[in-house]
Amino acid sequence: RNLFFVNEMIKKEVRVFSRSPEDGSLRYIKALTLPSVPDNIHFDSESGDLYVQTFPSFFRAALAMQKPVKEAVRVPGASLIFKNKGGAADGASMEYGERTIDHFLHDGSVLNFPTGFTRFGPLTLIGSVGATKGVMLCRDI
């Protein structure tokens, strides 16, 4: 693998790096700006698209992580997609636009505290770290 993504929670961005096949060193490519705090990242190795699960309210997420309050706090989530506008998903010719596609945005009432998602064709699977209802499966409309 020659492409790495690092989420920067404080700056609300994902940093993109390429790895040299010769010596393994990392080269900074760019930062993808987000509208909210990133959590988990999923890279689609076929399309080169990057999926980022975010917390629109980091305060609510931090509050929900406290054991006595955990179930009482509803944490909203936003699933964002950065489309690969460039070539093959090998990192050499990939290009991400500055704007994200807001794929899925919700208030946490259906699935509280969403922490990651992935795509399977027209389906989106969203998981939660602390939800008692498990996962949510959504179909494109």
Looking at residue 120, its pLDDT comes to: 83
Kind and range of the H or E element at 62?
Answer: helix 58-64
Contact 127, 115 (CB under 8 A): yes
Report pLDDT for 75: 74
Read off the pTM.
0.75
pLDDT score for 82: 82
Rounded distance, CA 11 to CA 54, Å?
Answer: 13
- Cα separation, 79 vs 104, in Å, equals 5
10-residue averages of pLDDT along the chain (141 residues) = 86 90 90 85 83 76 63 74 70 56 70 79 80 74 62
Residue 50: its pLDDT value, please?
85
Q: Are 83 and 76 in contact (CB under 8 A)?
A: no
Q: What is the pLDDT of residue 88?
A: 59
Please enumerate in sequence order all residues whose Cβ is within 8 A of that of 62, keeping only pairs 6 or more positions apart, or say none.
none
* Separation CA 3–CA 29 (nearest Å): 10
Buried (b) or exposed (e) across 37-49, using 16+ Cβ within 10 A? bbbbbbbeeeebb
pLDDT score, position 28:
92
User: What is the Cα–Cα distance from 2 to 19, expressed in whole angstroms?
Assistant: 5
* CA within 13 Å, CB half, 61: 19
